[in-house]
Structure 1
Amino acid sequence: MSKNYCICSNCIMDTSDSNITFDEKGLCDYCNNYYKEILPHWHPDATGEKELLGIVDKIKRDGKDREHDCLIGLSGGVDSSYVAHVAKKYGLRPLLFHVDAGWNSQEAVNNIEKLVDGLGFDLHTEVINWQEMKDLQLAFFKAQVPHIDTPQDHGFFASTYNFAAKNGFKYILNGGNYSTECVREPLEWHYHASDLRQLKDIHQKFGKRPLKTFPLCDIFTYKIYYRFVNKIQVIKPLNCVPFIKEKAMQELVDLYGWQKYAHKHYESRFTRFYEGYWLPTKFGFDKRRAHFSSLILTGQMTRDEALSKIAVKAYDDETLAQDFEYVATKLDLTVDELKEIMHGENKTYRDYKSNMAVIDLGAKVLRALGIQRAIIR
C-alpha cells in the first residue's frame, strides 16, 4: 500500500480516489459536502411528505386525461422498485418502463414480474438490439477504461428520456436518493454515461457495427431541451420519504415477493462483474466504498461494519469464475481473450474525446440557478 495512503476518519472513502481531500479533523470532502450541502436541505419527514403531496397533486392534475400520469424506469433494483411502491401508495398511475440490455439477473426479472403483478401497473419493455449493444460494450472493453458499464447506463437513460419525450410524458420518477447515494463515485471510477461525445469516440475507435437503433441522447438534450422545451420534470420521491435500504427491501419482500441481491446495482449480471471484479482488480477502485460511505453518513451502517465488509471480496471465487465465463461467452470472447483485455494498459476518460469542460460549466450554471444541488464528483 502506498506510504501516502489515507482514509477518512468518518466514512471509508480513501486515496483510491486520487482527488480526495481531507480537513484538519481527517474528514474527507465527501463528508463535508454531505454535512454542508445535502443534510440541511434534505427532509425525509413531514416536511418532505408535504412537498411530495404537492408534487403528486400536480402530476395527477396534469395527467387526468391520460392513461398514465408519469413514467418510472424500473430495473428490478431496490431504488426503482421502491419508487413504484411509493407511486402506488400516493395514488399515481405510472407506466413502468424497463430497458432490457441483455444482462438482467434472474432476481431482476423476478422482481419486475412481482411488482407488475402486485401493483397492477402497466409495463413497457424496451429491448436494445443485442448485436449493437455487444459491439459497443466490446469497444469499451478494448478502450481499457474503468467505465465499461457506460453502454448499459446510456441505453437505460437515453431510452427512458427519448420515450418520455416522444410520448408526451411530463414527469419521470426515478430512484435517485441521498439516503444511499449521498457519496458519489469519483469521475475516474465512473465517468458520465451521458457524455455522447465520448461514447461515440470510443465506438468509432474500437467498434465494428454501426449503431443504427441503439438509443442515444446527449446530456444537453435531456438536461436542457427535454427540460425546457418538452417540459419534462424528473422527480425523486425517495428524497421526500423515509428510505432505509434494508427496511425498504424487506418491505418489498413482504408485500410483493421481491428478491434481495448482494450489493447495490447487482440486479444486472454485467454490473456485478464490472463493479465486483473489473474495477477493483484492474484499477483498484471499489465502488462499495462510496455505497457504504453513503450508508454510514445516513446512519444505516457503522464505520466498523463498513470496514469489515470492504475487507471481503465483493463475491466468492466460484461465482466470479461463472460470471467471468458468462461475460466472455456473451461477448463472443474466449476466457483467455477476456483475460488478455484485463491485462491491457489502463486508460481513463481523459484518453478519449469528451464534453467534460462543457458539462462542468453546465453544472455550475444549474447550481447557481438553484436547479441542481452541489454534490461533488
Structure 2
Amino acid sequence: MSNNRIYQICTNCVMDTSDSKIVFDEKGVCDHCNDFYQNTKPNWHTDEKGLAELDDTIKKIKKEGEGKDFDCILGMSGGVDSSYLLHLAVTKLGLRPLVFHVDGGWNSELAVNNIQVMIDKLGLDLYTEVINWEEMKDFQLAFFKSGVPHQDIPQDHAFIATLYNFADKYNIKYILNGGNISTECVRNPMEYLYYGTDMAQIRDIRKKFSTNPMKTYPFSPVLRHKFYLRYVKGVQVIKPLNHMPYVKEDALKLLAETYGWTPYPQKHFESRFTKFYEAYWLPKRFGFDTRRVQYSSLILTEQMSREAALEKLKKPAYNPETIEDEFKYIATKLGISVAELRSYFDMEKKFYWDYRNQLAMFKTGAKILKFLGIERSIKR
C-alpha cells in the first residue's frame, strides 16, 4: 500500500501515520484520542454504577446456572486479560465457569504453564479443543500466499468459532470475555488487522491458495454469532473488566504473587505465531507496529506515560539475535523451507480490498450495534 503522507505522530499518544487513515486536529491530537475522550470515556463506568450493572448481570448468571455443572464459559488464552478475569470470576464474583481453551497448534510453553498453574490453584477443570493441525497449517499457508497483513485470522477465527460453537451446542448462555477498554481502547487500523469473520474473504483466499478441504475446521460467519446466537439463541458475551478498575500492572503483580504466573514480553505473545507475526512480520513487511496501539491505549487510560512508550518503541519488538531461529521454527512448523517463508515476506503486498469481502455488511452492522450501545466505536 502506498502511504505518501508526511510523517506525523500524535502529540498525545504514539499513534502515527503508519495508520494511513489517521486524522489530526489543530493541536496535533489524533482521532483515536479524540474518539476516546469524546465517546468512550464519558460512557465507561468503572465506579459504583459500573459495579452495580455488573452485579445485576452476575446475579442473573448465577440464578440461571443453578443446578448446572457450570454457569458460564470462559475462553482462556493464557494472556493477562483472560487470566485475571478467571481469577476475578472465581474468587471475587463467585462464578463457576467452564474454562475453555482452544489449541491452534502455536501455544508457547509459557502459555501452557500459565494456564495450568491457575487451573491447579483454583481447582478447576480445563476443557481443551484441539484444532486439526493439517487444516490449520494449510490455512496459515494460504494466508501467507495471499500476501495480506492479517496473518492471524486462521488462529483468531478458530478461537472465536470454536467457543461459540461449544456454547451453542451445550446451550451455554453466558460467555465471559477478557476484552476491555482499559488496555484496548485504541483499535488496530483495519488495513492491517482486518475482520477475522469475513467469510467472503476467507473463502476467496482459500479458493485461490488452499489445498486442504478443511472438513473439521470450525468456521462461523459473523451473522451467526453476532445476531443469530445473540438475539435468537440468547448467548451473551459479558466483559466484566469494563465494569471495574483494571490496571494491567496490578493484575500482573497479583497473578505472579498468587499463582506463580509469568508475564510475556508483549501483549498476545502467548502464541508463538502471533509473537513472530506482530513483532517482526507486520512491522518489517508492512510498517505497522501493534505496540503503538497497545501503548496508546495505556497512555489514554493513564497507565503509561507517552515518554515511556516512545522510549520502548526505539527498540524493535523482536530480538535481532534470535529472529533467524524464529524463522526456522515457523517454517519448520509449517512444513516449508525458510527460503519459501522469506519469499512470502518479499512478495507483492496485498490488503483486504484485493480479495472479495463483506466490508459493507460489517460497516452497516457496526453502525447498528453502536446505535444500540453494544459497540463503542466503528472499526475503520
Contact 2:177/2:239 (<8 A) preserved: yes
TM-score by structure 1 length? 0.98
- 1:29 matched to which residue of 2? 31
Aligned to 1:279: 282
Q: Which residue of 176, 191, 206 corresponds with 2:194?
A: 191
Partner of 1:65: 67
Alignment partners' CA distance in 1, 2:96 and 2:321: 43
Could you say which residue in structure 2 is the equivalent of 1:228? 231
Q: CA deviation at 1:372?
A: 2.0
Give the letter aligned to residue 160 of structure 2. F
Match of 1:317, SS state, is coil
CA distance 1:321–1:51, change in 2 (3 Å)? same
Q: Does 1:340 align with 2:337?
A: no
Give the Cα separation in 1 of the matches to 2:30 and 2:47.
27
Is 1:79 the counterpart of 2:81 in the alignment? yes
1:122 to 2:138 alignment: no
Show CA shifts across 1:181-213 (max 9, x none).
Answer: 000101011001111221111111100010100
Counterpart Cα distance in 2 of 1:120 and 1:92? 13
Q: Take 2:365 and 2:379, find their aligned partners in 1: how far apart are those partners?
A: 14
1:4 corresponds, among 3, 6, 27, to 6
Q: Is 2:174 aligned against 1:143?
A: no
What secondary structure sits across from 2:99 in the alignment?
Answer: strand
Once residues 163 and 110 of structure 1 are traced to their aligned partners in structure 2, the CA distance between those partners, rounded to angstroms, is 24
Is the CA contact 2:363–2:378 (under 8 Å) kept in the aligned structure 1? no
Q: 2:181 matched to 1:178? A: yes
Task: Indicate if the aligned counterparts of 2:190 and 2:379 stay in contact, CA closer than 8 A.
Answer: no
1:146-173 CA distance string (max 9 Å, x none): 0010000000000001110111100000
Deviation at 1:362, TM superposition (A): 0.8
1:109 equivalent in structure 2: 112
| Structure 1 residues 321 and 38, CA gap change in structure 2 (3 angstroms) | same
**Does residue 1:248 correspond to 2:230, yes or no?**
no
Find out whether 1:361 has 2:369 as its counterpart: no
Higher mean C-alpha displacement, 194-203 vs 8-17 = 194-203
Task: Note the C-alpha offset of 1:138.
Answer: 0.1
Deviation at 1:369, TM superposition (A): 2.2
Where structure 2 has 5 or more consecutive residues not aligned to the other structure, the ranges are none
**TM-score normalised by length of structure 2:** 0.97
Q: Is the 8 A contact 1:11 1:296 kept in 2?
A: yes
> Unaligned 5+ residue runs, structure 1?
none
Residue 313 of structure 2 aligns with which residue? 310
Give, as a single letter, the amino acid of the residue that structure 2 aligns with 1:67.
D
Instruction: Give the length in aligned residue pairs.
Output: 377
> Counterpart in 1 of 2:46?
44
| Alpha carbons 1:33, 1:376 under 8 Å: kept | no
2:5·2:17 contact (CA, 8 Å) conserved in 1? no
Contact 2:158 2:219 in 1 (8 A): yes
Q: CA RMSD in A?
A: 1.2
1:100 maps to 103
Indicate the residue corresponding to 2:375 in structure 1: 372
Identical residues among aligned pairs (%):
55
Shift of residue 376, structure 1, vs aligned partner? 4.3
